[in-house]
């Protein structure tokens, strides 16, 4: 038996972290067994279909590096299959057709087909899983309550539901349902917060297929972000920070890509600052030392200048402010190596007026 799984999001916009876990879990399950994974967009419910929602999901999946062997297929384009399934269920006595044309499961009354002929999620999902030859349904445990009903629908339309594996949900750090209020709840939010794609993917890979609900471990996610940035090539890091390759030394210590972009701005277009007169001695000494150096300093040269300044009791915080416009930021020696001589001198002189 060849394993066939599906990831079946509703097009409600950027993937919730728990849904992203489902996507990764399906992909890994198929990969581990030489199987295939398909992408199905569950868009039978117009109230859960957001304009641009499918595009947002496709962008999230691409960003996470999750690809599919088939799809995206859309339930909204498969109405004929569902009508046929409903007719089969009526024919077998497993379902009944109402006077208004809607079809309900016999005995419990669950709607399969609405009066307008459109299928409900319950029918569409089961009919698709059977028709697509899905061998394993892997989804969040919030769908556990659907299991028994879907097994009955499968039998009514003449099949058996695939094996179903429910994984634990990703909850907020406080153990409550992860929501926008927590931040970091969707892939779009994590991307905007500057988490590299590889860090988010690594976090989801680590969670694997949790049996029980898990609390989002932000400390772990942040650690993985630091690791992912350390592993990025210079070109990738520069591109992610929207900075030229020469700025990379200042970007290296950033803990997120948002921080890296902030560091890039500090060297590329700092806020101009005016420093009080007590900063003068340090900055004048810096100007003297820097004027003697080459156009670009090696990191050893940069560290030597900082050592020299410290030895005479120099005020390195003022130097940082003068060069970057900020009181905290990247390692100062990296700033010195990235700024060319003219730039460094101009900034120091401007800060003391």
Q: Provide, rounded to whole angstroms, the least separation between the CB of residue 85 and ligand GLU.
A: 16
> Three-state DSSP class for 270?
coil
Q: Is 78 in the site for ligand GLU (CB under 6 A)?
A: no
# residues near ligand GLU by CB under 6 A:
8
DSSP E strands in the chain: the ranges are 4-7, 36-41, 70-74, 95-97, 103-105, 111-113, 136-140, 163-167, 170-171, 214-215
Binding-residue pattern over the window 127 to 146 for ligand GLU, x denoting contact by CB under 6 A: ----------x-x---x---
* Alpha-carbon gap, residue 52 to 12, rounded angstroms: 8
Measured from the CB atom, the residue of 8 and 171 that comes closer to ligand GLU is 8
Measured from the CB atom, the residue of 85 and 348 that comes closer to ligand GLU is 85
Q: Is 42 in the site for ligand GLU (CB under 6 A)?
A: yes
> Three-state DSSP class for 27?
helix
Measured from the CB atom, the residue of 42 and 259 that comes closer to ligand GLU is 42
Buried-exposed string 227-238: b where 16+ CB fall within 10 A, e elsewhere: ebbeebeeeebb
Q: Is 8 in the site for ligand GLU (CB under 6 A)?
A: yes
* Alpha-carbon gap, residue 230 to 44, rounded angstroms: 43
Q: Are strands 111-113 and 103-105 parallel, antiparallel or unpaired?
A: antiparallel
The residue with its CB nearest to ligand GLU is 42
Measured from the CB atom, the residue of 41 and 332 that comes closer to ligand GLU is 41
- The maximal CA–CA distance of the chain, rounded, in angstroms, is 94
In this chain, which stretch among 5-13, 24-32, 94-102, 291-299 interacts with ligand GLU, using CB under 6 A?
5-13
Residue from 14, 118, 125, 282 that binds ligand GLU (CB under 6 A)?
125
In this chain, which stretch among 8-16, 107-115, 244-252, 281-289 interacts with ligand GLU, using CB under 6 A?
8-16
Q: State yes or no: cis peptide before 88, omega within 30 of 0.
A: no
Binding-residue pattern over the window 143 to 162 for ligand GLU, x denoting contact by CB under 6 A: x-------------------
User: Which 10-39 residues touch ligand GLU, going by CB under 6 A?
Assistant: 10
Measured from the CB atom, the residue of 8 and 190 that comes closer to ligand GLU is 8
268 Cβ contact partners less than 8 Å away, ≥ 6 residues apart: 243, 244, 247
Task: Retrieve residue 160's tokens.
Answer: 């058996």
Q: Is 290 in the site for ligand GLU (CB under 6 A)?
A: no
In this chain, which stretch among 2-10, 93-101, 265-273, 323-331 interacts with ligand GLU, using CB under 6 A?
2-10
Burial of 129 (0-12, 13-18, 19+ CB in 10 A): buried
Task: Retrieve residue 29's tokens.
Answer: 């399950």
Residue from 5, 9, 14, 190 that binds ligand GLU (CB under 6 A)?
9
- Which residues of this chain interact with ligand GLU, rule CB under 6 A? 8-10, 42, 125, 137, 139, 143
């Amino acid at each position: 038996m060849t394993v066939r799984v599906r990831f079946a999001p509703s097009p409600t916009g950027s993937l919730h972290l728990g849904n992203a876990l489902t996507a990764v879990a399906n992909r890994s399950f198929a990969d581990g067994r030489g199987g295939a994974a398909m992408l199905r967009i569950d868009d039978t419910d117009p109230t859960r279909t957001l304009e641009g929602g499918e595009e947002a999901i496709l962008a999230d999946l691409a960003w996470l590096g999750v690809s599919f062997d088939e799809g995206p297929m859309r339930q909204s384009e498969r109405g004929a299959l569902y009508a046929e399934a409903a007719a089969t269920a009526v024919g077998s006595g497993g379902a009944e057709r109402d006077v208004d044309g809607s079809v309900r499961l016999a005995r419990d009354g669950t709607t399969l087909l609405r009066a307008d002929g459109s299928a409900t999620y319950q029918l569409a999902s089961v009919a698709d899983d059977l028709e697509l030859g899905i061998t394993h349904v892997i989804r969040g445990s919030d769908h556990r309550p659907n299991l028994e009903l879907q097994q009955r629908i499968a039998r009514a339309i003449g099949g058996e539901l695939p094996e179903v594996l429910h994984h634990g949900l990703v909850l907020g750090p406080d153990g409550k349902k992860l929501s926008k209020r927590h931040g970091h709840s969707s892939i779009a939010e994590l991307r905007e917060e500057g988490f590299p794609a590889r860090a988010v993917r690594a976090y989801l890979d680590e969670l694997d297929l949790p049996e029980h609900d898990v609390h989002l471990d932000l400390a772990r996610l942040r650690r993985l972000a630091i690791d992912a940035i350390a592993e990025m090539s210079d070109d990738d890091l520069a591109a992610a920070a929207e900075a030229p390759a020469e700025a990379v030394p200042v970007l290296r210590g950033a803990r997120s890509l948002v921080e890296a972009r902030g560091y890039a701005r500090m060297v590329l277009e700092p806020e101009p600052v005016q420093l009080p007169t007590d900063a003068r001695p340090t900055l004048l000494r810096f100007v003297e030392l820097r004027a003697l150096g080459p156009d670009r300093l090696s990191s050893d040269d940069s560290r030597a200048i900082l050592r020299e300044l410290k030895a005479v009791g120099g005020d390195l915080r003022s130097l940082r402010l003068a060069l970057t416009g900020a009181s905290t930021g990247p390692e100062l020696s990296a700033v010195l190596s990235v700024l060319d001589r003219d730039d460094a001198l101009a900034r120091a002189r401007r800060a003391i007026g």
